[in-house]
Structure 1
């Protein structure tokens, strides 16, 4: 299919066509979070099953998306967006605080947001992997955004004299890999630790990267 079908226009039930489109799209994404992030998972979900879960028709699906991959791509960005909002809010609350306190607050906000709903972990760390070159590029681009955030925090810490003045990009990239791996393994029950213990360990790793030896 070359593109989306044309959606309805005009007002209906007191809502504009644009308002109805936003509502339909939200319902499809909510259903995708449930099916992709839970049972049966992205690869076993059909357009018909997703439409049924959303309480909409397959015709309405194709008015909003071309493929299920498009839904997964948007959902992946949405889940990361929620985590980013939580991180930025936490960063604003601890502005000017010492590095250890700031790093702990920021990372706890991230971990709390991502692990607060197991479906978000699955979308972020499992379902997005290996789907297509396009989604792999998106996944790596979103990871690079987190690396940039850490490098920004590192640069600010250097300016305050709280971190070693060096290029932190490689270390930040390695740290993000550790975050992804450990949070996934913890959520899957492969790590015998509380979430607080997992977060404490990752914060220690982050501070070891930033602080002068």
Structure 2
């Protein structure tokens, strides 16, 4: 019986790692490969075979870990945007004593600093994820509504305290997200000399829109 347990342990801990740990490593390598290829060559130009070669895994492992290229794209963007939301929440906790307009502007900057950490992540989050399939679009809408809901709730609470005027904040929140997405797309796609857009310029423009949209009058 002891011998059987030892054999099972060896099978489950090949190379000192459990099967779960090896699976986590394969998944991380796939995400890194997706960031590199989707973020440089583009989603359409990155077939599964190339992703597997870049990630150093077999196609069988790819399907076991991800199931599809769509699922890999969603997993990658979800990983990046989840980090961005977490960073924005950390910043929000530090500026709670500031006016709502400052809170929103600072959170947007924190979010963009993560999603636009480099050109690859910006390209994946704001360009390559668009129009891939109905499944990806459904995921994008779900994420968009989640983030806009957070912004709308903050605005509603501020209005209840009399700090800003009452209005329909769900539409305002979606409008701000739409502006962020459009400006971030230009950040990625504008390459002509003298026409480049910087992250600071995007943040300044969003801050202007937020100040105008959340005025107390």
Q: Do the aligned partners of 1:32 and 1:75 also contact (CA within 8 Å) in 2?
A: yes
| 1:28 aligned partner | 30
TM-score, normalization by structure 2: 0.87
How many pairs does the alignment contain?
Answer: 204
Q: Which one of the candidate residues 202, 208, 211 is aligned to 2:212?
A: 208
Q: Greater share of helix residues, 1 or 2?
A: 2
Q: Do the aligned partners of 2:100 and 2:155 also contact (CA within 8 Å) in 1?
A: no
Over the aligned positions, Cα root-mean-square deviation in angstroms equals 1.6
Deviation at 1:192, TM superposition (A): 4.4
Equivalent runs, 1:23-62 vs 2, <5 Å = 23-38=25-40, 40-62=41-63
Q: Is 2:17 the counterpart of 1:15?
A: yes
| 2:69 aligned partner | 68
Q: Tell me, which stretches of 5 or more residues in structure 2 are unaligned?
A: 1-10
Deviation at 1:103, TM superposition (A): 2.4
Q: Tell me, which stretches of 5 or more residues in structure 1 are unaligned?
A: 1-8
TM-score, normalization by structure 1: 0.89
Larger radius of gyration: 2
Alpha-carbon distance between aligned partners in 2 of 1:175 and 1:65, rounded to the nearest angstrom: 32
Deviation at 1:72, TM superposition (A): 0.9
Q: Do the aligned partners of 2:190 and 2:197 also contact (CA within 8 Å) in 1?
A: no
Q: Do the aligned partners of 2:130 and 2:137 also contact (CA within 8 Å) in 1?
A: yes
Name the SS for the 1:208 alignment partner: helix
Alpha-carbon distance between aligned partners in 1 of 2:211 and 2:150, rounded to the nearest angstrom: 15
Alpha-carbon distance between aligned partners in 1 of 2:36 and 2:94, rounded to the nearest angstrom: 32
Q: 151-160 or 28-37: which moved more?
A: 151-160
